[in-house]
Amino acid sequence: MRLLTTFSTLAVLIGLAGAAQAQSCTPKVPASSLIEAGKWQMSINPTLPPQQFVDDKGELQGLNVELAREIAKRICLEPVFLRMDFPPMIPALRSGRFDAINTGLFWTEERSKMLYLVPYAIQAISIYTDPASPLKLEKFEDLAGRIVGVESATYTERKAREFNTEMVAKGLKGIDLRTFTTVTATSAALRAGQLEAALNINETANSLEQRGIAKIWVRDIAGTDITFAFRDKLLAQAVADALTAIRADGTYDKLFEKFGMTRLKAPAFAIRGDGPTN
């Protein structure tokens, strides 16, 4: 009986301590800045290791996942990850279906006028083939006349089409670009011989090469900032402030070392661009 009483008392004390801790953590943004008070809801496309992916147990992993959880702790919100394909993310965010996009969204001038973008890392594009391919590539122009795979509605597709237009203007053959919704689908098409080469971000291409399913020929094409994207400015600023604190205490560097991604050089983080103009 005495033992039961002791455990009961201990449970009450633990419960009180947890409640006190919860009460002492006040969200850094008002409820009016969120879809649901107390929660930071973000879309994520977990098909791009080491940024974001699903492990053998079906659990979300990767830099973007761990970084978001760390930010959520600092701004006292519960992180909620909404898995979805990339193409509908921007219109869904703008229409208020969730609070943010957490999928390594490349910064562009156009996007910076639609959303509040907070850069947190740097990425560029790689060209790769199946390891058994006899093709050898030294530059983007070597893709002229080739069948090349790329994920749809991404910065990579956009840059590939821009480069292709420039190549055609120079008199080179155009690239036959085939679009896919995920890197997995792109890789399957490459292995099946439906593609001669493929394009993706450096880190994803590195992961494919480490697993023996790709051979990288060209890296670091069109490098630029990648961002968290928000519909609300107060939430965006709170995340930027949290990132600055995470960098100051060394957590940022540890996470980037763990996942082998390229850090942003700036010591402080901020919204880049004016944000929505309508």
Q: So where are the chain's domains?
A: 37-122+224-263, 125-222
Q: What are phi and psi of 254, to 5 degrees?
A: -60, -40
Q: What is the pLDDT of residue 24?
A: 64
Rounded Cα–Cα distance for residues 100 and 117 (Å): 10
Bin 169: left if φ > 0, else alpha if -120 < ψ < 50, else beta.
Answer: alpha
Rounded Cα–Cα distance for residues 155 and 163 (Å): 12
- List residues bridging with 123 in a β-sheet: 224
Q: What is the pLDDT of residue 117?
A: 98
The correct CATH number of 125-222 out of 3.10.180.10, 3.40.190.10, 1.50.10.10, 1.10.3720.10 is: 3.40.190.10
Is the pTM above the cut of 0.85? Answer: no
Q: What is the pLDDT of residue 73?
A: 97
Q: What is the pLDDT of residue 178?
A: 98
On the question of a common fold for 37-122+224-263 and 125-222, the answer reads: yes
Q: What is the pLDDT of residue 267?
A: 84
DSSP-derived secondary structure letter, 254: H
The correct CATH number of 37-122+224-263 out of 1.20.58.220, 3.40.190.10, 3.40.50.970, 3.40.800.10 is: 3.40.190.10
Q: What is the pLDDT of residue 170?
A: 96
Rounded Cα–Cα distance for residues 43 and 83 (Å): 6
The helices-and-strands tally (H runs, E runs) of the chain is: 9, 12
Query: How many CB atoms are located within 10 Å of the residue 260 CB?
Result: 13
**3 state SS for 200-211:** EEHHHHHHHHHC
CB-CB contact of 180 with 189 (8 Å): yes
Q: What is the pLDDT of residue 210?
A: 92
DSSP for 79-118 reads EEEEE--STTHHHHHHTTSSSEEEEEEEP-HHHHTTSEEE
Q: What is the pLDDT of residue 9?
A: 42
Q: What is the pLDDT of residue 47?
A: 87
- Enumerate residue ranges in the chain where pLDDT < 50: 1-23
Q: What is the pLDDT of residue 38?
A: 96
